[in-house]
Structure 1
Amino acid sequence: MGTGHYFWAIFYFTSLCSASLANNAKINFREKEKKVLDQILGAGKYDARIRPSGINGTANLPTLVQVNMFLRSISKIDDYKMEYSVQLTFREQWTDERLKFDDIQGRLKYLTLTEANRVWMPDLFFSNEKEGHFHNIIMPNVYIRIFPNGSVLYSIRISLTLACPMNLKLYPLDRQICSLRMASYGWTTNDLVFLWKEGDPVQVVKNLHLPRFTLEKFLTDYCNSKTNTGEYSCLKVDLLFKREFSYYLIQIYIPCCMLVIVSWVSFWLDQGAVPARVSLGVTTLLTMATQTSGINASLPPVSYTKAIDVWTGVCLTFVFGALLEFALVNYASRSDMHKENMKKKRRDLEQASLDAASDLLDTDSNATFAMKPLVRHPGDPLALEKLRQCEVHMQPPKRPSCCKTWLSKFPTRSKRIDVISRITFPLVFALFNLVYWSTYLFREEEDETF
């Protein structure tokens, strides 16, 4: 057997020995970890029903629990139910002097448990929770870490549906503040106090995406509450959501503007086109009413007026006004026709009387007549008429206004109403838009309090 074979045999034997020693060391380390767990959590050694002591083991001071969380996702924000759903990793950390152990010269950094009932737990609950559940796929998403100095870290992944009272006065130009409140259920502030962890108590996933909202910022605060049974510690996170306006601009505002403009086409149609103008007005009115009902169906029945109610109400008024304008035009057209018929009858009567008078003059052409005086008396009607005409010619002529001059180009009242409506309706709608957007956009900036 050569020298090379001896070398490889020695190397193989050494590797087996080192692997065996490493496995033994791991076994011994796990055995020591098991012994530590038995020492601190063994039968008769730890009672999970007893609250840990306060700072420095002082029994008469409250237990301090530091809280932090990681927001993994916000799945929906429901305007109708006034609630939102969130998935988060929730963490609590406190110190329990009874759980101190030897770290074996720094080799045992912490102990991990998956059963929360083995140690004392704070009785925290979410006060504005509607629904909630833990995650158990594939294993329960929860762990407890016990550190050598007695510090306990509890972490769990949960999904919650929380109440979010909303003020929809500026909808859809609004911002909403949704809170997440956590409080102690049974322990008063004399026994248990919740604190936000220093540094970064709330973390949010970077690629958080909401379909109709944007999370602008968040703020942590305290919300201790006093009841008949005492004062209870409380923490809260305020999330400021800004509603994405582009969706509502495309789905609501632009279609409503188009319906209003389409209703103005009636002003340019002929007055005699009654079926066309009636069908256009009724169709736009019904479409606008359907649009309004569809918008309100997705919102709760609140007692105040929302910004979208003002918009849809004014647009519906403009469409209805265009329909009423046609009714007025139709009435004026019939009145103009009646006047025209009366004038025609009057002209026919005058023509008939003139024809009769000429026939009478022809029959009496040979009759004698009295000589008319060359000078008329002052009371003569013909002289008074001549004098009145002279006074009229002596008065300075009145300058007609530009509006009257322009309207005089349209002989009938119905045509004038249509022409005035072509100008008045767009101007008033443009003025409304100016007032609406300036009012609600500036109010949005003023009401942005956080």
Structure 2
Amino acid sequence: MVHLTRLTVIFLFQFSQIFRIQASSDLKNVSSVLNDLLKSYDRHHRPTYGGEPDKVIVDIYVRSMSGISELDMEYSFDCFFRQRWTDTRLTYNQTSVMNYTSLPVSFQMFSKIWKPDTYFYNGRRSYIHSVPHVNRFFRIANDGTILYSQRLTIRASCVMDLRNLPLDAQHCTLLIGSFAYNSEETVYEWNNNSAVDLQNNLVMNQFSLIDASVGQRILMRDNRTRSIVYVVFAFRRHVGYFLLQLYIPCILIVFLSWVGLWLNREATNDRINLGVTTVLTLIFVIIEGKKDLPKVSYVTALDLFLAVCFIFVFSTLFEFALVHYYTKARTGDLNENMRDLEDYVIRNDKTNINERDEPNNDIHLLYRASVAGTSSTSSTTSGRMACRFWRNFHCKPAYSKFQGRALKNIFYANSESRIDVLARTLYPLAFFLFNFIYWPYYLYASRQQSKDVQI
């Protein structure tokens, strides 16, 4: 048994030595084959020089999408960028290199062969990853087909239309082609099996990637035709951030400004303070929310909504100015105007000719002659009609029965302006009508924008 075990060990040792020698011999054969391929190789000329154009097949595997910047009009993503082309000058016998269908070779050889001068037409600051080593490799197949793969972070320009911001959809294009060769020398095509593959569960903060469509075309550049391939990334913006940071706060500020419509018109300080506070707060929200957005020359959907909210908030302050001007003659808080109230006297309603339409038992607050003017019993019927019309249009005068009862019972009951009553209905109705038109319109425009793809 011991003798059999010893024979087995000796056999395995000898087999490993033989395999090592054979592998070393095969590696020498690989090096010999590669050296033979480069003996008469000229890397300064393309493989089919003087004949048909060389065909370069590309595909992209997108690993991640980083931020899309509206300020710089650009986007970036991390990917594996692969190119395939055929160089018949590099064909070799498969049996002479351990039956390898493709040879992994170092970049020392890669620098000695021809390769397409592929570049990104709309690229910006793209770079290849080099940690811990340069992330790239290439293989040579026995029929001369070369596979060149590299990990890139591509930052490219993207022309954005922000008219529907933040309900917008953007299309960002990446153009790939040759830098020097025209379409008669080099032709670019997508890999039919997998042109653009996306990483599963690809997540972005502000956008969601809807689709990635590919195509190829002939581009006229510098009076020469260039063969290019392109990929169009379709993005849709997430509206949640703008709803939480701008839309909902602005709507609540508009609602808050309407509180002043239910305050008494005599509460001047309260209504002025509320109006000014809501205006300043809305201005702060607008400035803070738009500081990171691009300064475009056209009106966006967000600009329109913020402008309408500001108009509603400011108009409530202006509305109180109208109420104060037209309906608050000689009025104010009772405690703050005691000196003015000394100019009033309490009389029975029968002695007041201008108030004959009121019940006889009501008590009114009348101006003295030195304050009220020259109102006399010789007023004409037309004068009384006009006075009654203006009272009904605006509100009951401050010297009516309400302040008279206030002095009698040490209780102040405020009057009410019909302008306020009308505004309580018109303001919410107009704002809700605006939202009813605004949201369907821009949602429809966003769907139309997502369909319009421009290269």
TM-score (normalised: structure 1): 0.80
What SS does the corresponding residue of 1:188 show, helix, strand or coil?
A: coil
Q: Which amino acid aligns with 1:108?
A: Y
Give me the whole-angstrom Cα distance separating, in 2, the residues matched to 1:169 and 1:147.
51
Give me the whole-angstrom Cα distance separating, in 2, the residues matched to 1:122 and 1:182.
12
Cα drift, residue 441 of structure 1:
1.4
Residue 321 in structure 1 maps to residue 312 in structure 2:
no
Select 2:91's aligned residue among 100, 122, 128. 100
Give me the whole-angstrom Cα distance separating, in 2, the residues matched to 1:432 and 1:79.
27
Paired position in structure 2 for 1:24: 21
Write the deviation string for residues 295-344 of structure 1: whole angstroms up to 9, x where unpaired.
Answer: 33222221211100110000000000111112122223423749x99xx7
What SS does the corresponding residue of 1:153 show, helix, strand or coil?
A: strand
What SS does the corresponding residue of 2:101 show, helix, strand or coil?
A: coil
Give me the whole-angstrom Cα distance separating, in 1, the residues matched to 2:105 and 2:99.
18
Q: Which amino acid aligns with 1:78?
A: S
Give me the whole-angstrom Cα distance separating, in 1, the residues matched to 2:267 and 2:81.
70
Give me the whole-angstrom Cα distance separating, in 1, the residues matched to 2:324 and 2:224.
76
Which aligned pairs between 1:148-163 and structure 2 lie closer than 5 A?
Answer: 148-163=142-157
Write the deviation string for residues 144-196 of structure 1: whole angstroms up to 9, x where unpaired.
Answer: 11000010111111112110110001100010000011121111111111111
Paired position in structure 1 for 2:159: 165
Give me the whole-angstrom Cα distance separating, in 2, the residues matched to 1:191 and 1:19.
51
Give me the whole-angstrom Cα distance separating, in 1, the residues matched to 2:349 and 2:432.
51
Q: Is the 8 A contact 2:65 2:77 kept in 1?
A: yes
What SS does the corresponding residue of 1:152 show, helix, strand or coil?
A: strand
Residue 181 in structure 1 maps to residue 175 in structure 2:
yes
Give me the whole-angstrom Cα distance separating, in 1, the residues matched to 2:202 and 2:219.
32
Cα drift, residue 294 of structure 1:
2.5
Q: Is the 8 A contact 1:332 1:414 kept in 2?
A: no
Write the deviation string for residues 58-106 of structure 1: whole angstroms up to 9, x where unpaired.
Answer: x421111111111111111011111111111111111101000111177
Which aligned pairs between 1:41-440 and structure 2 lie closer than 5 A?
Answer: 41-42=38-39, 45-53=40-48, 59-104=50-95, 107-115=99-107, 116-335=110-329, 337=331, 351=351, 411=396, 415-440=417-442
Cα drift, residue 36 of structure 1:
1.2
- Structure 2 residue ranges without an equivalent (≥5): 333-339, 354-380, 382-388, 398-414
Write the deviation string for residues 194-231 of structure 1: whole angstroms up to 9, x where unpaired.
Answer: 11111221111112110010100011112422234421
Give me the whole-angstrom Cα distance separating, in 1, the residues matched to 2:121 and 2:56.
18
Give me the whole-angstrom Cα distance separating, in 1, the residues matched to 2:221 and 2:239.
42
Cα drift, residue 350 of structure 1:
9.0
Pick closer, same or farther for the CA change 1:316–1:330 going to 2, 3 Å: same
What SS does the corresponding residue of 2:183 show, helix, strand or coil?
A: coil
Give me the whole-angstrom Cα distance separating, in 2, the residues matched to 1:12 and 1:113.
36
The aligned length equals: 388
What SS does the corresponding residue of 1:168 show, helix, strand or coil?
A: coil
More moved, 142-151 vs 297-306: 297-306
Pick closer, same or farther for the CA change 1:352–1:86 going to 2, 3 Å: closer
What SS does the corresponding residue of 1:129 show, helix, strand or coil?
A: coil
Write the deviation string for residues 15-71 of structure 1: whole angstroms up to 9, x where unpaired.
Answer: 1111112212221221111111111124xx2111110117xxxx4211111111111
Give me the whole-angstrom Cα distance separating, in 2, the residues matched to 1:39 and 1:310.
71
What SS does the corresponding residue of 1:84 show, helix, strand or coil?
A: strand
What SS does the corresponding residue of 2:328 show, helix, strand or coil?
A: helix
Cα drift, residue 253 of structure 1:
0.9
Q: Is the 8 A contact 1:333 1:414 kept in 2?
A: no
What SS does the corresponding residue of 1:264 show, helix, strand or coil?
A: helix
Q: Which amino acid aligns with 2:102?
A: Y
Cα drift, residue 434 of structure 1:
0.4
Cα drift, residue 271 of structure 1:
2.1
More moved, 161-170 vs 101-110: 101-110
What SS does the corresponding residue of 1:118 show, helix, strand or coil?
A: coil
Cα drift, residue 414 of structure 1:
5.2
- Superposed CA RMSD in Å reads 2.8
Select 1:441's aligned residue among 440, 443, 449. 443
Give me the whole-angstrom Cα distance separating, in 2, the residues matched to 1:104 and 1:305.
69
Q: Is the 8 A contact 2:327 2:395 kept in 1?
A: no
Give me the whole-angstrom Cα distance separating, in 2, the residues matched to 1:218 and 1:280.
51
Give me the whole-angstrom Cα distance separating, in 2, the residues matched to 1:232 and 1:127.
11
What SS does the corresponding residue of 1:216 show, helix, strand or coil?
A: strand
- Structure 1 residue ranges without an equivalent (≥5): 354-387, 389-403
Q: Is the 8 A contact 1:218 1:238 kept in 2?
A: yes
Give me the whole-angstrom Cα distance separating, in 2, the residues matched to 1:333 and 1:345.
22
Give me the whole-angstrom Cα distance separating, in 1, the residues matched to 2:419 and 2:298.
37
Select 1:34's aligned residue among 19, 31, 34. 31
For the pair shown, which has the larger CA radius of gyration, 1 or 2? 1
What SS does the corresponding residue of 1:52 show, helix, strand or coil?
A: coil
What SS does the corresponding residue of 1:286 show, helix, strand or coil?
A: helix
Q: Which amino acid aligns with 1:50?
A: H
Give me the whole-angstrom Cα distance separating, in 1, the residues matched to 2:180 and 2:352.
108
Write the deviation string for residues 103-155 of structure 1: whole angstroms up to 9, x where unpaired.
Answer: 11772221223423221111111111121111111111111110000101111
Q: Is the 8 A contact 1:330 1:414 kept in 2?
A: no
Q: Is the 8 A contact 1:178 1:240 kept in 2?
A: yes
Cα drift, residue 274 of structure 1:
2.1
What SS does the corresponding residue of 1:335 show, helix, strand or coil?
A: coil
